[in-house]
Amino acid sequence: MSDPVRVLIVDDSALVRKVLTEQLSRQPGIEVVGQAPDPFVARERIVALEPDVITLDIEMPRMDGLSFLKKLMKFHPVPTIIFSSIAGRGSQIAMDCLEAGAVEVLAKPNGSAAIGQVAARLGDLIRGIKDVKIRRDPGPANHPAPHPPRTGPKPCAQPSTRVIAIGASTGGTEALRDVLTPLDADTPGIVIVQHMPAGFTNAFANRLNGLCHIQVREAQDGDQICTGLALIAPGELQMKVVKDGASWKVHVFDGPRVCRHKPSVEVLFESTAECVGKKAMGIILTGMGADGARGMLSMRNAGAYTVGQDQESCIVYGMPREAFEAGAVCQQAPLREVPRHITEWAQGAIRAAA
């Protein structure tokens, strides 16, 4: 039996620390080794206790959680889950935390009973990120320079003749940035599922839109898939590709969870396989679990060219591994090479094997 994941809870609320400790300690494979009411105490306990994972609040006395996270990732990186009520109210703060190196952001509900209800989800995250690769001191030097801001929305004038479907989860926000920013404005239309709560995806899309040559925005039901446009599925809704005459559009709807997720990569990939077939490319990036593996296999069987992020470059080699082991991946590639695969496929230089 493997050793339990050692967790340090950092939160200024004594009640939250108590409830989380009780709830997480009941779950298999987790040991809460300590608590801290603020970042200064947390710093001492991280050194003394050497936790595998930290849960971190944002609003705390003496130093806010985001400032502490930046220092932590620079001097003593530890896999960190943001667990804060402000994450649900301020999606921009959530994006800042992910960019600073947090592995996941989970909105803290009001009331101890509600916190107990999300403890199972938090426990799954804790068990899944124990061995993730942490980027030390992620900063502007590692980010592409933003393009000049647009004065207005870029018109969708040309329906795409091909479709690129991308799925990602843990670590995907930064991976998607690295994939999308090098792409030219004539790239075929892109549809994306990134596991995110409701309210986060619009801020995420807006941030990417300011960095990319292509247009990036949160999808709305009926949006046409156009050249130079990436559509991101809204949190807590499903998104699929549907035929629209000779081209395609997206259907965004409130359906059941698939592979425990909404939006689900599985839903996106299966619909792309059915509606687009060999005119599609599928890409599966870093993430926990198996969401998208069967759907990518359907895409490959339908003639699509499929790429899986390789283990070395993944924050979590879960979803790409499941897809690879299912025989769904035509080509594994480091994250830095995924944009090249997109460009070469778009130019007809590579295609799925017959």
Angle (deg, nearest 10), helices 201-209 and 172-180:
30
Residues above pLDDT 70, as percent of the chain: 89
Least-confidence region, from 122-126, 140-144, 329-333: 140-144
Amino acid 1: pLDDT: 61
Average pLDDT of the chain, as a whole number:
89
Pairing of strands 189-194, 163-168: parallel
Amino acid 145: pLDDT: 46
Q: Which residues, other chains included, contact 151 with Cβ-Cβ below 8 Å and sequence gap of 6+? A: none
pLDDT in tens, 102-129: 988 888 877 766 777 788 888 988 988 7
The segment(s) of the chain belonging to CATH 3.40.50.2300 are: 5-129
Least-confidence region, from 143-152, 160-169, 283-292: 143-152
Least-confidence region, from 7-21, 69-83, 130-144: 130-144
Q: Where does residue 48 rank: exposed (0-12), middle (13-18), buried (19+ CB within 10 A)?
A: exposed
Residues 21-48 have a mean pLDDT of 95
Domain 5-129 has CATH 3.40.50.2300: yes
Residues 294-302 have a mean pLDDT of 98
Residues 144-168 have a mean pLDDT of 70
Is pLDDT at 151 greater than 80 in this prediction? Answer: no
Amino acid 131: pLDDT: 63
pLDDT in tens, 206-241: 999 999 999 999 999 999 999 999 999 999 999 999
The segment(s) of the chain belonging to CATH 3.40.50.180 are: 163-346
Is pLDDT at 144 greater than 70 in this prediction? Answer: no
Is pLDDT at 155 greater than 70 in this prediction? Answer: no
As annotated, the active-site residues are 169, 195, 291
At residue 51 the predicted structure's pLDDT band, cuts being 50, 70 and 90, is: very high
Amino acid 49: pLDDT: 96
Least-confidence region, from 77-86, 109-118, 183-192: 109-118
CATH of 163-346, one of 3.30.420.130, 3.40.50.2300, 3.40.980.10, 3.40.50.180: 3.40.50.180
Q: Give the separation between CA 243 and CA 206, rounded to whole angstroms.
A: 27
Amino acid 149: pLDDT: 44
